[in-house]
Each structure stands twice: as C-alpha cells, then as structure tokens.
C-alpha cells in the first residue's frame, strides 16, 4: 500500500511530494494513521538550514513532530496494558529518549543527549502513516473539539509554553496582582496566553506582538491587554503598558518568539526579581546587559519542549474544554507554500496538514 509523503532531501530545497510505501511496524510499534500534522516554525528552520551544524540528518527525512491520528495497526508485542486498540484516537509524544540517561530516568526524554525526534531523526507526520513505539502514544477520546487537527499542535505548540509557564509558576513568579507578559503570539504564544491566564492565579496577562490580527487572537485566548510593538521603541511600549495596567514593568514573561529584539525588550520591561522563561527559537543569541541581570536579580529559564507527563496534562486541559484552538487547515499539496508563509510570519495560530 502507498501513502503520500513530503520529504526533505537537503537543506535549502523544497520538500519532495511523493508516494512511498506504508512503513512496516516492529513488534512494539503502532502504525498511526495521521489525521493532523502541525507545521511548526522549526520545520521551516529545518529546511532553511538552521540546524545544519548540530543535527546530522540521514536523508530523506520526513518533517513533522506534531502528530495526532488513529491506531491503524499494532505490533505483536504491544501489551494489553497499553490500553490501545485499532481505531483509537491518539497523539504522539515526539521525543524518544535512550531510556538510560539521567534525563530519561527523570522523565525528561526531550533533554536526552542520545534521543531521537519524530520529524528530525525519524520520519514525522508529513506522511500519512507513521510507526511509533506504543510508549509514546497518549489515547484520547474521539469527537467534540478533540479532532486530530486540533490535537496535533498540542504536542509542541501547546506543550512548550505550558512547561515554560509551569517553571515560572513553581518558582513563585505567577501570582494574583502580578503582570505577566506573553511575547510573540504565533503558534506557541497563542497557547501561551491561555496558560498564562490559567496558571497565574489572577495576574493580568499582557500580549506583545507585531500584528493586530495576532493580538486579537491573544485577547480571544485570555490576554487582558495587548500591545503591538511594531515600529515602537522601548519607552513608547513602556508608556503603553503603564496606560493599560498602571505599571511600567512585568513580573514575568513567557518569551515565545526567541528573536534577539524580543528578548531584549522582555528584559528591558522586567521588574526587579522578575523572571523570563524562554521557549522561542527564531534567533541564535541572547544579548542582554549584564549589570541589570545581576543587580535586579533577574532569573532566566531556558525551557525546551515538554515531557510526556506535561503532555498528558495539556491533553487533560483540552478534554476539559479549557483550551482554544487557532488552526489553519493545509492540504498536503500546499506544504511548501505554507512553509514559506510560516517563514514570513504570515500564518495565524498553527497550520496543520490534514489528509482528507
């Protein structure tokens, strides 16, 4: 049997749209029929060469680390204790550790130095069928708002800011009466605004982005205020923040863009003893003044993706109807055009490939 696949044969080249054989599965693997494959900016960066020095690839590779779908077949050694059966709706946890290192034993397989990632080290969801070890599947109920196209983005765009905000919360930086900034309202930030409101215990949430359309999404998703930072200097943004909230500084920021300019602005607006959790990866460097970092006792958290348990919590929030989705459906034939649009920042929310 054949399937459609959009595959990468080299950096700086469009993906090849081709037919391929449906993969065979190993004894502990499940064949997932992909119902939705989220298109992350990281996928654009992969093709564009962002990882060319640190991520050796065995071509061809099929991108797509945000995957949801249905169980289409099961290996002979998938245990009954997995609770999986053919036809079940599932999401894929896309970071597969070696199971032996300290990070894996702590449950943080996304930090494993020898791990594999769907869509990078192994084929991902830009193809119609995907073999996955049963350990990396989460079963979810069907129907309602939990369609694969809404579930797939939760495995990264909805997972990554959740983990970052949990770090801020657990360290005491999210509290009633505080002001939380959400910087960058793209795929991650559209979820980040929601989690900031859900996890902050009543803090004001202020969204920062360069588009009025994206600000509207942030407000729909829970932000109390929004500031379009395009063509504004720090003092103008500070004045607007004061007009909206009565304060000129932020207690914490979930930084979802990752550009040098966005990070510099976040630190420039940070209150003493404030904290930033950085989850975006547009740029390559962090360039901030050292003295305020020390003298004002800032805290800076790097936060990468999320672990399996984080994802189960995100799915539980979705099952409870606590998460809103901003999804643009993409035909498989339009994958390359959509990657270009993602690179330009023209996509609202998350683009998701659907195989209708």
pLDDT score at 50: 85
CATH of domain 160-302: 3.40.50.720
Gap between the Cα atoms of 183 and 180, Å rounded? 10
All structural domains of the chain with their residue ranges: 2-156+306-354, 160-302
Q: 158 near 96, Cβ under 8 Å?
A: no
pLDDT score at 356: 80
Q: 90 near 69, Cβ under 8 Å?
A: yes
Residue 259: φ, ψ to 5°: -85, 155
DSSP string, 293-334: HHHTT-EEEE--S--HHHHHHHHHHHHTT-----EEEEEGGG
How far is residue 264 from each of residues 181, 189, 237, measured CA to CA in Å?
A: 13, 17, 13
Q: Which helix (H) or strand (E) holds 6?
A: strand 2-7
pLDDT score at 54: 64
Fold of 2-156+306-354: Quinone Oxidoreductase; Chain A, domain 1 (3.90.180)
How far is residue 282 from each of residues 62, 125, 162, 255, 279, measured CA to CA in Å?
A: 21, 22, 19, 11, 10
Gap between the Cα atoms of 24 and 32, Å rounded? 11
Predicted confidence pLDDT, tens digits, the chain (356 residues): 999 999 999 999 999 999 999 999 999 999 999 999 999 999 999 999 888 776 677 899 999 999 999 999 999 999 999 999 999 999 999 999 999 999 999 999 999 999 999 999 899 999 999 999 999 999 998 655 689 999 999 999 999 999 999 999 999 999 999 999 999 999 999 999 999 999 998 999 999 999 999 999 999 999 999 999 999 999 999 999 999 999 999 999 999 999 999 999 999 999 999 999 999 988 888 999 999 999 999 999 999 999 999 999 999 999 999 999 999 999 999 999 999 999 998 999 999 999 98
């Amino acid at each position: 049997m054949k399937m459609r696949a959009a595959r990468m044969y080299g950096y700086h080249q469009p993906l090849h749209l081709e037919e391929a054989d449906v993969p065979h599965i190993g004894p502990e693997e499940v064949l997932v029929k992909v119902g939705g494959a989220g298109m992350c900016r990281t996928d654009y960066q992969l093709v564009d060469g962002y990882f060319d020095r640190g991520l050796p690839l065995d071509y061809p590779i099929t991108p797509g680390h945000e995957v949801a779908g249905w169980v289409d077949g099961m290996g002979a050694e998938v245990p009954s204790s997995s609770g999986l059966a053919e036809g079940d709706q599932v999401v894929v946890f896309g970071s597969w550790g070696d199971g032996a290192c300290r990070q894996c034993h702590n449950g943080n397989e996304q930090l494993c130095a020898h791990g594999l990632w769907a869509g990078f080290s192994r084929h991902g969801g830009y193809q119609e069928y995907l073999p996955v070890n049963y350990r990396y599947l989460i079963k979810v109920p069907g129907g309602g708002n939990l369609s694969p196209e809404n579930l797939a983005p939760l495995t990264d765009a909805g997972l990554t800011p959740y983990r970052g905000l949990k770090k801020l919360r657990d360290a005491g930086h999210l509290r009633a009466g505080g002001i939380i900034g959400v910087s960058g309202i793209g795929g991650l930030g559209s979820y980040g605004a929601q989690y900031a409101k859900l996890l902050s215990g009543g803090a004001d949430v202020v969204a920062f982005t360069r588009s009025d359309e994206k600000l509207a999404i942030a407000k729909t998703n829970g932000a109390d205020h929004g500031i379009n930072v395009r063509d504004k200097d720090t003092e103008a943004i500070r004045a607007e923040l004061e007009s909206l909230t009565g304060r000129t500084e932020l207690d914490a920021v979930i930084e979802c863009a990752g550009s040098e300019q966005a990070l510099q602005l976040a630190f420039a607006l940070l209150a003493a003893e404030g904290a930033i959790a950085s989850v975006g990866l547009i740029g390559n460097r962090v360039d901030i003044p050292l003295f305020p970092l020390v003298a004002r006792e800032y805290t800076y958290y790097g936060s990468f993706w999320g672990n399996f348990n984080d994802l189960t919590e995100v799915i539980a929030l979705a099952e409870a109807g606590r998460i809103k989705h901003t999804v643009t459906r993409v035909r498989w034939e339009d994958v390359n055009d959509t990657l270009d649009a993602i690179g330009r920042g023209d996509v609202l929310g998350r683009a998701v490939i659907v195989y209708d």
